[in-house]
Amino acid sequence: MPKKELDTFSVSYLSILDEDGNVDKDLEPKLKKPELIELYRQMVWARRTDERMLKLQRQGRIGTFGPSTGQEAAQCAVAFAMKKQDWFAGAFREHGVRLLRGETLTRQLLYYNGQEEGNINEGAANPRNLPISVIVGAQPLHAVGLAYAMRLQGETETCAVTFMGDGATSEGDFHEAMNFAAVWNLPVLFVVQNNQWAISVPRSKQTKSATIAQKAIAYGMPGIQVDGNDALAVYAAASEALDRGRRGEGPTLIEAVTYRLMMHTTADDQYKYRTKEEEELWWRRDPLVRFRGYLEAKKIWSEKDQEALEEEYKAEIEKQVKAFEEMSGWKPDAPFDHVFGTKHERIEAQRREFLAETAKEAARG
């Protein structure tokens, strides 16, 4: 019997605003002027705060930190397409998503200063943002569970969006999450920020697949590769995926091709494994520069607007850094409060010992 072809597959790549500023008019999302400006402002806010955090780390004012610079379009344009009620289950490099969804620089600084208080979302921040997940590849499964719960509870208009890196796609949990989401036909959006590196390991050593997007096909869901430095393409792909989810048509995988312009974290030296030339190539694809050019071509943004924005952000950053540095009064035994939701004498006895020992340590000097 001759072999017969059962199926054939293809993967597509979406780019709307290219490196040279050309726009595909047919694909251009129908965003209004204030929306375009708001998206741009959010991307600049993500960049400026990221730069400031890097400086603060270098001055010893916060601890280890992994910059997002270069990935603003991949992050902010997805967050911009999300609705407030959507869940966000991120990894550790979605600074832009967190800020856009209401988290403050102050809270981020607290987190990177080694305080769980930085994970608490209060006030304007979205209570449907899960905290940073450092364990690579774990949180996509949580997104699947969140989406399942939403459907069971009748919130059919709510999606769960989960982010991970190219490295994370090698973990078993990633594949299990994709499989469950597809089998259960859930409104989950998987966003892989393919920033070309997982610490020192290049994308080529991470997977033999020609694209990460095509991994979706094996699980029975659509996958698309987008230019992750093109805010319009990311926005269009995310909007379409979220609409599908809300219509009950199941999960989607978006591979956003982008680049980690800085070190993995401040503890890393990226020149052990890659060149400055490679970085320069990607600096030329800076998503901020590209999007600003688009706004300027539309005559809705000018040098003057930019200057005003920079002034505004400078002041706002100062304010938030100051607020962070003035915070005090941390309860030393807070970890005992939050081991369990119930009180247990075995833990309380250790709390008493802890407090007594801490006092003796202070006396010892």
Partner 1 sequence: MAKLNMVQAINLALDEMMAEDPSVIVLGEDVGVDGGVFRVTEGLIEKYGEARVIDTPLAESAIIGTAIGMALAGLKPVGEMQFCGFSYIMIPQLEGHGSRYRSRTHGQFHVPLVMRVPYGGGVRALEHHSESREASLGHFPGVKVVIPSGPRNARSLMRAAILDPDPVVYMEPKRSYRAFKEDVPETPETVEIGKAQVIQEGTDVTVIAWGAMMHTTKKAVEEIRQARGASIELIDLLTISPMDTETICASVRKTGRLAVVQEAPLSFGPASEIIATVNDHALMHLEAPVKRVCGYDVVTPYFGRENLYMPTVGRARRGIEEVLDF
d(CA 98, CA 141): 19
DSSP string of 170-216?
Answer: GSHHHHHHHHHHHHTT--EEEEEEE-SEETTEEHHHH--SS-STTHH
> How many residues lie near partner 1 (CB under 8 A)?
47
| Pair 206, 49: CB distance under 8 Å | no
Residue type, 352: R
Report if residue 198 touches ligand TPP, rule: CB under 6 A.
yes
What is the pattern of x (binds ligand TPP, CB under 6 A) and - over residues 238-277?
A: ----------------------x---x-------------
List the interface residues with ligand TPP, window 87-106 (CB under 6 A). 93
Q: Provide CB contacts within 8 A for 291, sequence distance 6+.
A: 17, 39, 40, 43, 73, 231, 232
Separation CA 309–CA 122 (nearest Å): 26
Residue 115 binds which entry of ligand TPP, partner 1, Mg ion, none, CB below 5-8 Å type-dependent = partner 1
Q: Does 350 bind partner 1 (CB under 8 A)?
A: yes
| The only residue of 195, 214, 225, 270 in contact with Mg ion, by rule CB under 5 A | 195
Residues with catalytic annotation?
260, 264, 273
Signed CA dihedral, 236, 238, 239, 240: sign only: positive
Least gap, CB of 259 to ligand TPP (angstroms): 10
Of 24, 38, 48, 63, the residue at the interface with partner 1 (CB under 8 A) is 63
Residue 275, interface with partner 1 (CB under 8 A)?
Answer: no
Select from 27, 135, 183, 359 the one that contacts ligand TPP (CB under 6 A): 135
Q: Any idea how long the chain is?
A: 365
Q: At what angle do helices 231-246 and 72-81 cross, to 10 degrees?
A: 30
Using the structure block, give the residue that is written with the tokens 């802890």.
Answer: 354
Q: Which chain residues interact with partner 1 by CB under 8 A? A: 63-64, 92, 111, 113-116, 132, 134-137, 167-168, 170-172, 198-201, 205-207, 267-268, 272-273, 330, 332, 334-336, 338-339, 346-347, 350-351, 353-354, 357-358, 360-361, 364
Q: Which chain residues interact with ligand TPP by CB under 6 A? A: 93, 134-136, 164-168, 195, 197-199, 260, 264
